[in-house]
């Protein structure tokens, strides 16, 4: 069951020639956070594997998400029952978010410190990041609360917000696929600081802070959405296009044709087209009825699609044109919007979500084991594997 070989022989050979290349120009990261991480890394024992730090951070993100989900499944607690989510939950969210942020920031430093850097470690890190990106956002929505007629954010705004965040993540790795360089996005460090501050503010002051208009009658959540859209359209995406254009002028692009350069975008964009069609045309208004389940499914499917792009980018191979998730999703969307599902639409969403989540976990475990055997290393230990 766990021996499925998702990575081809050609990709395995490509991984052997891979070299990590990243550029960090974010002032917040370079001048504020990096000195903090350099101090924290000194207390990490040398016997701990870097991937263990990465995975521990991801587990903390999951624990925080499921804890908030327990108290606020449908994103209404902060709006209709402000005291329903205990204060300690918000403070715990701030703590786990900071720990996950720290662990994600020091795992690479620890790998270099223990001389255990490997393509497996980078893929493990970026693969979990592709999933954690959506989970961060889904947890934060409980702070905002869904629209109750007076305050809160509509579920459609939540969907747009999540889509923009995932679009930015996709652009970073599409950029690296074409240039060979990971230009670390400025938004990551800023978003983590904002999340931690938001949880602390909610825990210390209460969710009411999000339900009062401030500047020119706008709520804090409105300002955050405006800043996110502006940051993405005016800074992040243009910067990605500029870096690719600059590589083109320098003749350092990794892909010689426009088709190959755009190929990694096909499946993610088709994915969001199908999901948006379902959201807009659903007879049963599926997003409003099951926002948490639907948005979780969006995050999982996106993560699996992007993970395959990252594998191709790191192994210098061509990605598939159409991800297999698109085919069952297209059938589900057609059955839903045509009315064939009827009252069973929510049940089918739950079944499809379970399917893609299980498939994604299976993919991650199998790819990890495959690369672990290929490089003769363990995932969560610094010991070398015994050759069979």
At 219-256, the pLDDT tens digits run: 777 777 777 777 777 778 888 999 999 999 999 999 88
* pLDDT for 212: 78
Copy the structure tokens of residue 254. 């990794």
Least Cα distance to 178 among 270, 252, 266 occurs for: 252
What is the structure's pLDDT at 333? 98
Query: What pLDDT, on a 0 to 100 scale, did the predictor assign at position 82?
Result: 62
User: pTM of the prediction?
Assistant: 0.94
pLDDT tens track for 115-167: 999 999 999 999 999 999 999 999 999 988 888 777 778 999 999 999 999 99
Residue with tokens 């993970």: 307
**Helical residues (DSSP H) of 180-236, grouped into ranges:** 186-205, 220-231
Lowest-pLDDT range of 50-54, 171-175, 230-234, 348-352? 230-234
Contacts of 164 (CB under 8 A, 6+ apart): 228, 229, 232
Distance CA 209, CA 123 (A): 39
Whether the predicted pLDDT of 186 surpasses 90: no
Model confidence at 387: pLDDT above 80: no
Model pLDDT, residue 221: 77
The secondary structure of residue 217, as a DSSP letter, is G
Rounded to an integer, the average pLDDT of 265-273 is: 97
DSSP string, 220-287: HHHHHHHHHHHHIIIIIHHHHHHHHHHHHHTT--S--SHHHHHHHHHHHHHHHHHHHHHHHH-TT-HH
pLDDT reading at 2 higher than 80: no
Q: How high is the pLDDT of residue 295?
A: 98
Q: What is the mean pLDDT of the chain?
A: 92
For residue 182, the Cα-to-chain-centroid distance in whole angstroms is 16
- Residue 210 — very low, low, confident or very high, per pLDDT cuts 50/70/90? confident
At residue 386, the pLDDT reads: 58
Question: Which of the four pLDDT bands, split at 50, 70 and 90, describes residue 1?
Answer: low
Give the pLDDT score at 83: 67
Tokens of 121: 């470690």
Query: What does the pLDDT read at residue 160?
Result: 93
Average pLDDT (354-364) is 97
Question: What b/e readout covers 198-220, taking b as 16+ CB neighbours within 10 angstroms?
Answer: bbbbbbeeebeebbeeeeeeebb
Per residue in 80-110, pLDDT tens? Answer: 666 688 999 999 999 999 999 999 999 999 9
Q: Residue 377: what are its φ and ψ, rounded to 5°?
A: -135, 160
Beta strands in the chain (DSSP E): 22-23, 182-183
* Distance in angstroms (rounded) separating the CA atoms of residues 175 and 243: 8
DSSP 363: H
Q: To which residue do tokens 């993919």 refer? A: 363
Backbone torsions φ then ψ of 81, nearest 5 degrees = -135, 75
Give me the percent of the chain exceeding a pLDDT of 70: 97
| Residue 23 DSSP label | E
């Amino acid at each position: 069951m766990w021996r499925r070989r998702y990575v081809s022989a050609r990709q395995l050979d490509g991984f052997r020639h891979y070299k990590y290349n990243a550029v960090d120009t974010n002032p917040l990261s370079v001048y504020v956070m990096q000195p903090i991480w350099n101090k924290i890394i000194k207390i990490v024992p040398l016997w701990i594997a870097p991937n263990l730090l990465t995975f521990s951070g991801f587990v903390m993100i999951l624990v925080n998400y499921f804890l908030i989900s327990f108290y606020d499944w449908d994103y209404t607690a902060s709006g209709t029952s402000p005291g329903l989510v205990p204060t300690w939950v918000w403070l715990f969210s701030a703590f786990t978010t900071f720990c996950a942020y720290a662990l994600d920031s020091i795992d690479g430093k620890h790998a270099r410190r223990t001389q255990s850097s490997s393509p497996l470690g980078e893929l493990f890190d970026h693969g979990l990041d592709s999933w954690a990106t959506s989970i961060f956002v889904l947890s934060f929505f409980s702070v905002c609360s869904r629209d109750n007629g007076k305050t809160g954010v509509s579920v459609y705004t939540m969907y747009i917000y999540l889509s923009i965040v995932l679009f930015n993540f996709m652009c970073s790795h599409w950029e690296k696929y074409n240039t060979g360089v990971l230009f670390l996005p400025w938004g990551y460090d800023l978003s983590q600081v904002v999340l931690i501050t938001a949880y602390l503010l909610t825990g210390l002051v209460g969710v009411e802070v999000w339900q009062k208009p401030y500047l020119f009658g706008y709520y804090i959540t409105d300002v955050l959405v405006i800043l996110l859209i502006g940051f993405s359209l005016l800074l992040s995406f243009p910067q990605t296009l500029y870096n690719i254009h600059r590589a083109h002028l320098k003749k350092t692009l990794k892909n010689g044709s426009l088709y190959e350069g755009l190929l990694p975008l096909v499946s993610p964009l088709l994915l969001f087209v199908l999901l948006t069609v379902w959201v807009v045309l659903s007879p049963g208004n599926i997003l409003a009825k099951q926002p948490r389940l639907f948005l979780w499914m969006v995050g999982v499917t996106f993560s699996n699609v992007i993970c395959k792009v990252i594998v191709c980018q790191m192994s210098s191979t061509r990605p598939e044109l159409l991800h297999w998730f698109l085919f069952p999703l297209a059938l589900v969307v057609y059955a839903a919007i045509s009315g064939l599902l009827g009252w069973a639409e929510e049940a089918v969403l739950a079944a499809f979500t379970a399917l893609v989540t299980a498939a994604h976990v299976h993919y991650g475990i199998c790819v990890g084991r495959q690369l672990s055997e290929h490089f003769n290393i363990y995932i969560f230990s610094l010991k070398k594997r015994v050759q069979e």
